[in-house]
């Protein structure tokens, strides 16, 4: 699932980067827009704890559901039945409990020819069986029900009009299937198959899961028979109903075989969506190669447009309220991660959403290249509080936290990729896909961890523990110096680690060293509050950077006090206001810091964009230490300089560094 978010665009002056980097070139798509009110309304349903299976529900395993419902759009009414086939799994079963919202009312329950007694409560119906079912035995129940008139507000089934035509759609994640059909509403128990027989006024078309077997017309109504023959979680069963324009594309998965891709489009939207929809077949191919074959090849993939701002990965038929490519590939990736392998419970929703969010970056890495991948990861950096593991399932907003369940969770996979290495990482995804315990089933974090450990042949508890169950991220402060010994340079690197939680992180950290002969990157394992590393180099080190390519969710900075390098710092504040008088009457100015590590001639000079010298701030021989210089925006003739961009340059006998600053009025 992916909500659209209103993106708050903050325009920065590009002061620090003389050449544009991929992060600046990257334009976020429109799907990050948020409809805050709509979202708040949607999450109001969190009132009841709907998360838990009852003890009774753990005693039977659902095999099949058959829905047979008639929808009256004018009166927003549903009437019909749901049949279920299930197996008793432990003890003998004397009653069956199903989830049902107060918006539905059960008329009767039958087992074969006999009518059963039932008691419908606020969120559960208890059906009494006339005879106890023995463990291992199957049983069938048929529940006749209707939607009550009060069921119109905040509900997993929505009735609306678009262009004067009825539009009915469902969005049941996480606990909404029970709003429109009684069921055992947990992703831990997927039905092996589902049949949907949906009757609507004949001007409407029903898009749903699996294969459309037939359409029957009778008495001004149409009945659509849909069959889902792959295992499916209740929240992924979907209806999207409208007078759609329907068209197809094909995904050719072998020289002789192809699978249909069906698009159910609002006719007025066709010209908008067709361009990106045409990329779906290619995206299926990309994910099939990365993860394993598209999981529902014998059926279809499709999009059904719906009236919600976002997307929902309904199995084989994603519901879409937007058409950006990142939204399209996000929902498509869920067919593998979320639909084929479903989080066993919503504590572990990151296995759905983190994977789908990361899949966006992987898709664009394939299509646009590695720079684009890193730019997308950069956009998903989240440095706030909270664990990725969802502690409380009654808070739906927390389950779908875009910062934790989506962004930071996608960073977990990004980091895992670097921890185990590229080839092992993609082997892990393929192995996870193929493991019969999880394929078409469900999984929790520890199941995925086990696959990672097996494929990489290393213990990874520490990794998942700190990133899934722990908060925050490491903060690295580092310093370095070197000594020349027998024509080798011994580099001493000290890393001090801290975090906002107080916990320390264990991570492999890339150390990139610029030397006189070239650049080199080595990996060190950092896990302590203070850790020292000795490295031998055959060339003089000039610059040391930690995690230069951003493989770790972290902050890193070079300690200004202890470092053994020359450096020039960014001025502060920047930009600064030349003519703005502060209340104290002191004219605004900016501070420039720099450090030199040997006694040398030092020149610190400000230039304008034409390269003309504006102000000499320092021009003398200095001892090795850290200095700060204040500049008030006046030139060598004591005149205020014009507003605009300036360069400042630190020069010694062996070192030169340039930075930009901006002066405003």
Q: List residues binding Zn ion (CB under 5 A).
A: 1-2, 353, 356
Task: Quote the longest CA-to-CA distance of the chain.
Answer: 103
Please, which residue, 62 or 320, has the CB nearer to Zn ion?
Answer: 320
The string of DSSP letters for 400-456 reads T-IIIIIIIHHHHHHHHHHHH-HHHHHHHHHHHHH-TTTTTSEE-HHHHHHHHHHHH
Least separation in angstroms between residue 469's CB and Zn ion is 22
Please, which residue, 170 or 205, has the CB nearer to Zn ion?
Answer: 170
Least separation in angstroms between residue 124's CB and Zn ion is 28
3-class DSSP state of 88: strand
Please, which residue, 3 or 190, has the CB nearer to Zn ion?
Answer: 3
- 8 A C-beta contact, residue 301 and residue 261: yes
Least separation in angstroms between residue 56's CB and Zn ion is 31
Least separation in angstroms between residue 169's CB and Zn ion is 17
Distance from C-alpha of 509 to C-alpha of 552, rounded to nearest angstrom = 8
Please, which residue, 1 or 329, has the CB nearer to Zn ion?
Answer: 1
* Vertex 315 angle, CA 230 and 268, to 5°: 140
Cα 375 to its chain centre, rounded Å, is 15
Please, which residue, 96 or 333, has the CB nearer to Zn ion?
Answer: 333
Which DSSP category does 7 fall into?
A: -
Residue whose tokens read 């939607």: 147
Query: Tokens for 394?
Result: 């009654």
Instruction: Using alpha carbons, select from 395, 357, 329, 322 the residue that is nearest to residue 5.
Output: 322
Distance from C-alpha of 445 to C-alpha of 348, rounded to nearest angstrom = 6
Least separation in angstroms between residue 400's CB and Zn ion is 8
The string of DSSP letters for 265-310 reads E-GGGHHHHHHHHTTHHHHHHHHHHHHSS-TTTTS-EEEEE-SSSE
Least separation in angstroms between residue 337's CB and Zn ion is 9
Query: Tokens for 379?
Result: 């956009």
Which DSSP category does 202 fall into?
A: T
Least separation in angstroms between residue 404's CB and Zn ion is 13
Distance from C-alpha of 327 to C-alpha of 350, rounded to nearest angstrom = 17
Which DSSP category does 31 fall into?
A: G
Q: What is the 3-state secondary structure (H, E, C) of 580-592?
A: CECCCCCECCEEE
Please, which residue, 411 or 648, has the CB nearer to Zn ion?
Answer: 411
Please, which residue, 355 or 551, has the CB nearer to Zn ion?
Answer: 355
Least separation in angstroms between residue 354's CB and Zn ion is 9
Distance from C-alpha of 66 to C-alpha of 74, rounded to nearest angstrom = 25
Least separation in angstroms between residue 39's CB and Zn ion is 14
Least separation in angstroms between residue 382's CB and Zn ion is 16
Least separation in angstroms between residue 334's CB and Zn ion is 5
Please, which residue, 183 or 409, has the CB nearer to Zn ion?
Answer: 409
Say if residue 350 is preceded by a cis peptide, omega within 30 of 0: no
Least separation in angstroms between residue 60's CB and Zn ion is 30
In a 13 Å sphere around the CA of 70, the CA atoms on its Cβ side amount to 12
Beta pairing, strands 625-631 & 613-622: unpaired
3-class DSSP state of 636: coil
- 8 A C-beta contact, residue 236 and residue 343: no
Beta pairing, strands 507-515 & 541-546: antiparallel
Least separation in angstroms between residue 282's CB and Zn ion is 20
Which DSSP category does 33 fall into?
A: -
Please, which residue, 2 or 595, has the CB nearer to Zn ion?
Answer: 2
Alpha helices in 35-145 (DSSP H): 36-43
Least separation in angstroms between residue 355's CB and Zn ion is 9
Please, which residue, 337 or 463, has the CB nearer to Zn ion?
Answer: 337
Q: How far is CA 117 from CA 95, 113, 588, in A?
A: 10, 13, 82
Please, which residue, 2 or 652, has the CB nearer to Zn ion?
Answer: 2
Q: Which residues pair with 245 in a beta bridge?
A: 265
Please, which residue, 2 or 466, has the CB nearer to Zn ion?
Answer: 2
Instruction: Using alpha carbons, select from 657, 654, 603, 607 the residue that is nearest to residue 629.
Output: 603
Query: Order of strands across the sheet with 555-558?
Result: 530-537, 488-498, 475-485, 555-558
Please, which residue, 182 or 354, has the CB nearer to Zn ion?
Answer: 354
Please, which residue, 7 or 118, has the CB nearer to Zn ion?
Answer: 7
């Amino acid at each position: 699932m992916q909500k659209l978010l209103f993106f708050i665009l903050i325009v920065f002056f590009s002061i620090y980067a003389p050449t544009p980097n991929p992060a600046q070139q990257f334009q976020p798509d429109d799907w990050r827009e948020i409809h805050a009110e709509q979202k708040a309304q949607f999450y109001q349903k969190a009132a009841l704890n709907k998360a838990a299976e009852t003890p009774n529900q753990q005693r039977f395993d659902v095999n099949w559901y058959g829905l047979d419902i008639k929808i009256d759009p004018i009166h927003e009414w549903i009437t019909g039945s749901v049949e279920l086939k299930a197996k008793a799994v432990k003890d003998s079963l004397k009653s069956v409990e199903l989830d049902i919202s107060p918006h539905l009312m059960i008329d009767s329950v039958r087992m074969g020819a006999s009518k059963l007694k039932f008691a419908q409560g606020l969120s559960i119906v208890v059906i009494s069986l006339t005879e106890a079912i023995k463990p291992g035995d199957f049983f069938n129940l048929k529940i006749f029900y209707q939607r009550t008139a009060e069921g119109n507000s905040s509900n997993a089934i929505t009735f609306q009009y678009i262009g004067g035509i009825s539009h009915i759609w469902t969005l049941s994640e996480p606990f909404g299937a029970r709003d429109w059909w009684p069921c055992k509403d947990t992703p831990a128990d997927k039905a092996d198959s589902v049949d949907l027989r949906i009757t609507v006024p004949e001007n409407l078309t029903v898009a749903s899961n699996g294969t459309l077997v037939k359409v029957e017309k009778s008495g001004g109504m149409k009945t659509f028979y849909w069959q889902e023959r792959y295992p499916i979680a209740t929240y992924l069963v979907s209806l999207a109903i409208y007078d759609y324009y329907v068209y197809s594309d094909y995904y050719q998965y072998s020289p002789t075989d192809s699978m249909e891709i069906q698009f159910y489009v609002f006719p007025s939207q066709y010209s908008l969506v067709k361009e990106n929809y045409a990329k779906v077949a290619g995206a299926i191919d990309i994910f099939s190669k990365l993860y394993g074959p598209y999981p529902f090849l014998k059926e279809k993939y499709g999009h059904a447009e719906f009236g919600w701002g976002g997307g929902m990965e309904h199995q084989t038929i994603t519901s879409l309220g937007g058409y950006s490519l990142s939204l399209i590939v996000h929902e498509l990736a869920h067919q593998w991660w979320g639909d084929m392998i479903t989080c066993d419970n919503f504590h572990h929703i990151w296995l759905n959403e983190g994977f789908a969010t990361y899949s966006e970056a992987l898709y664009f890495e394939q299509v646009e290249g590695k720079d684009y991948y890193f730019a997308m990861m950069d956009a998903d950096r989240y440095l706030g509080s909270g664990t990725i593991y969802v502690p409380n399932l009654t808070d739906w907003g927390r389950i779908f936290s875009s910062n934790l369940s989506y962004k930071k969770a996608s960073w977990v996979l990004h980091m895992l990729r670097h921890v185990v290495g590229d080839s092992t990482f993609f082997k892990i995804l393929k192995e996870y896909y193929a493991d019969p315990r999880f394929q078409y089933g469900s999984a929790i974090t520890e199941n995925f961890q086990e696959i990672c450990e097996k494929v990489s042949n290393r213990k990874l508890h520490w990794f998942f523990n700190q990133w899934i169950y722990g908060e925050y991220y490491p903060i690295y402060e580092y310093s370095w110096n070197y000594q020349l010994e027998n024509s080798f340079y011994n580099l001493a690197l000290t890393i001090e680690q801290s975090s906002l939680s107080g916990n320390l992180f264990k991570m492999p950290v890339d150390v990139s060293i610029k030397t006189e002969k070239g650049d080199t990157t080595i990996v060190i394992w950092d896990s302590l509050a203070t850790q020292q590393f000795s490295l031998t180099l055959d060339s003089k080190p000039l610059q040391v950077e930690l995690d230069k390519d951003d493989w770790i969710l972290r902050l890193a900075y070079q300690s200004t006090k202890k470092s053994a390098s020359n450096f020039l710092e960014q001025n502060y504040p920047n930009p600064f206001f030349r003519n703005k008088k502060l209340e104290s009457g002191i004219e605004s100015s900016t501070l420039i810091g720099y450090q030199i590590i040997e006694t040398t001639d030092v020149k610190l000079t400000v230039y304008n964009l034409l390269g003309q010298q504006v102000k000499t701030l320092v021009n003398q021989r200095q001892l090795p230490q850290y200095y700060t210089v204040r500049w008030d925006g006046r030139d060598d003739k004591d005149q205020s300089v014009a507003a605009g961009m300036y360069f400042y340059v630190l020069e010694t006998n062996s070192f030169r560094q340039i930075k930009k600053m901006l002066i405003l009025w």
